[in-house]
Amino acid sequence: MIEARRLHILRAVADHRTVTAAAAALYLTPSAVSQQLTALEQETGHRLVERSAKGVRLTPAGEILLAHTNAVLAQLERAEAELAAYGSGEAGTVTVAAFATGIAQVVAPAVAQLARTAPGIRIRVQDAEGDASLPMVLDRQVDVAVAVEYRGAPPADDPRLTHAPLYAEPFDAVVPLHHRLAEAPEVPLAELAKDTWIGPYPGNPCHDVVVLACESAGFQPRLEHSSDDFRAVVALASADAGVALVPRSALRGMDLTGVVVRPVDGVAPTRRVFAAVRRGAEDHPLIRPVLTALGEAARM
């Protein structure tokens, strides 16, 4: 008989590629993870992982079991949801991980709405970049992720997750007050090819949006200044340190004294924001109201 907890460990190892990283995500020791993998191999009668100096990869038998693991764990999530519904599920805590502007845009309004409509649901919010929150959901560190589409992200049909689209927003060009394009009604990105750029660090989904937009305009941006805080990005632009692309919602309420904000000429680079939960958990009586409230906040 295969134990479900060992399937969680197999999936964590497949996701994180090393025993050490999987152990950290699951709050276990590396030796405990190795022992559970060995026990799982004994239960199945197959070698499931191959270890090397670069990490761990699944064998063909391990890949077969992983496909079933995703289905089994999703079904267990559904079972928990139905049991919670049976027991009313009117009170409990839901943990939401979201990036800063996502918190301001949809999470905070959803928290306010739930306080009125579902006072028994307590929301705990954690600030996490758009690429960090999805692994947190998969590792059961949080219940809901508000994330951004990015290169390498699990696709919408990933068997481990259920996606719920929230909103899409354009990036605007931010240039210093006396920039040569400050008077232009729209900024053609190609005209910024020789400028110094300010932007998020590699790994941040917004970094991908900026780089892909510039590549589509025919150049590689010369990113000399890096910050994941858009207030810092705008402050540097106001100091004439360079130009930037910034999500429109991040500019709300910000001091824009020393910069000019203009829409991008043509098709604007866009970030697409969605909520994600472990597949099967979307109908949990605590999680469903949270997803509903996030969707309603996104439409406001």
How many Å apart are CA 112 and CA 215, to the nearest integer?
Answer: 40
How many Å apart are CA 144 and CA 96, to the nearest integer?
Answer: 5
Dihedral sign (CA 20, 281, 117, 128): positive
Give percent above pLDDT 70 in the chain: 98
Of the candidates 147, 153, 151, which has an alpha carbon nearest to the alpha carbon of residue 294? 147
Q: Read off the pLDDT of residues 50-107 as tens digits, 9 standing for 90 and up.
A: 888 778 889 998 899 988 988 888 888 888 877 776 666 667 889 999 998 899 999 9
Residue 216, pLDDT score? 92
Residue 94, pLDDT score? 95
The token pair that represents 282 in the structure block: 């979307």
Residue 299, pLDDT score? 92
Instruction: State whether residue 167 is helix, strand or coil.
Output: strand
Residue 108, pLDDT score? 97
Contact by Cβ (8 Å): 180, 188: no
The residue type of 294 is L
- Hey, which residues does 296 pair with through a beta bridge? none
pTM to 2 decimals?
0.71
Dihedral sign (CA 98, 297, 274, 292): positive
Of the candidates 299, 294, 257, which has an alpha carbon nearest to the alpha carbon of residue 111? 294
Instruction: Encode 169-207: b = buried (16+ Cβ within 10 Å), e = exposed.
Output: bebbbbbbeebebeebeebebeebeebbbbbbeeebbbb
Return left, alpha or beta for 196; rule: phi > 0 is left, psi -120 to 50 is alpha, else beta: beta
Instruction: State whether residue 195 is helix, strand or coil.
Output: coil
Place of tokens 């009125």: 116
Of the candidates 199, 179, 195, 190, which has an alpha carbon nearest to the alpha carbon of residue 261? 179
Tally of CB atoms within 10 A around 86? 9
Return left, alpha or beta for 97; rule: phi > 0 is left, psi -120 to 50 is alpha, else beta: beta
Q: Which residues of the chain have pLDDT under 70?
A: 85-90
Residue 211, pLDDT score? 93
Contacts of 139 (CB under 8 A, 6+ apart): 12, 15, 25, 26
Tally of CB atoms within 10 A around 299? 9
Residue 3, pLDDT score? 82
